[in-house]
Amino acid sequence: MENDHLLACRCMEITEVEIRNAVRQGATTVDAVKRATQACFGLCQSKTCFNIIARIISEETGKPISEILPIKIRIPVRPLNIESF
């Protein structure tokens, strides 16, 4: 069941429908959904929305949820001072 206004990623205000549309257009991994919609780019860095996005991918593709990998973590290229945050 789709809800046009139900947020899948609260940090970036990306709706469930936007995620489903991205999956239907070929974004079948969480990383691909992230690139297509900007979901997972928020403050929580997908701690809140990963499970929701993984469930949507599973529902749309039929892939078992246990096979859906988390997003790739990229460490900063160079060290940052704590004051820069």
For residues 40 and 49, the answer to whether their CB atoms sit within 8 Å is: yes
Taking the complex as a whole, the smallest distance from the CB of residue 67 to ligand FES amounts, in Å, to 21
Rounded CA-CA distance 76/9 in Å is 23
For residues 28 and 61, the answer to whether their CB atoms sit within 8 Å is: yes
Q: Which residues pair with 15 in a beta bridge?
A: 7
C-beta closer to ligand FES: residue 24 or 47: 47
The footprint of ligand FES (CB under 6 A) covers 9-12, 39-40, 42, 44-46, 48-49
Taking the complex as a whole, the smallest distance from the CB of residue 53 to ligand FES amounts, in Å, to 8
C-beta closer to ligand FES: residue 39 or 54: 39
